[in-house]
Amino acid sequence: MIAPTLRSTAAIFVVLAILALTSGCEPDGQSLEEDPLAPDPDLPEAVVDLPSPPPESAFEIREHNDDGSLRVEGLVANRDNYINNEVEVRGVVASIRGHDCTPGGPERCPRPHLLIRDHADDNLEMMVVGYENPFLRTASIEEGEDFLFRGTYTHSAHDFPSSEIGLIDLAAVDDHELEE
């Protein structure tokens, strides 16, 4: 009794094995589809020409300029060392705000303030506050020009709150002292 059952089970396995082996075969005359992402054998090999990596010094944040004054980037990177202290920061005036507003006009006039950067094309900028518009003419302050700003590095001054980078409460620009 066991032998006939064993034979029929073996026969089923043989038939399944034959079907499995023949189902993977392609009939004559037909070919497999080509891989559309396969490399073209007629093209030359790819050449990768990447620029060399920048030196480590490119990732260093310089705290001071050559004249000993602080850089905007250096002040922000080391803010805990300078907060609530008098600082001298050399920077380029990126923009002057609140200097061309007409009081009583349709728009509210912002208090005068400057935004300074280490270089004109930098993104990091710092606010300079605490002066009135006539001081701009006295000190000949213009956008795009480089100046030495002296003042207190703080979180807020003259109703100007600051972001985490702080701002400068102005005392002098180059040799022009701010009159109080």
DSSP 8-state code for residue 64: B
Give the contacts of 32 (CB within 8 A, at least 6 positions apart).
Answer: 26
Q: Within a domain: residue 72?
A: yes
Residue 69 sits in a domain of what CATH number? 2.40.50.140
Q: Within a domain: residue 166?
A: yes
Tens of pLDDT, residues 6-20: 667 767 767 667 766
Q: Quick one: pLDDT at residue 7?
A: 67
Tens of pLDDT, residues 47-57: 899 999 988 87
Give the integer Cα–Cα distance in Å for 131 and 15. 97
| Percentages of the chain per state (helix, strand, coil), in multiples of 5 | 25, 25, 50
Q: Within a domain: residue 45?
A: no
Tens of pLDDT, residues 55-101: 887 788 899 999 999 999 999 999 999 999 999 999 999 999 887 77
Q: Which two tokens stand for residue 6?
A: 């064993």
DSSP 8-state code for residue 98: S
State which residues form the domain around 135.
56-177
Please tell me the total count of domains within the chain.
1
Give the contacts of 101 (CB within 8 A, at least 6 positions apart).
Answer: 107, 109, 110
Q: Quick one: pLDDT at residue 84?
A: 93
Tens of pLDDT, residues 102-151: 666 677 777 888 999 999 999 999 999 998 888 888 899 999 999 999 99
pTM: 0.65
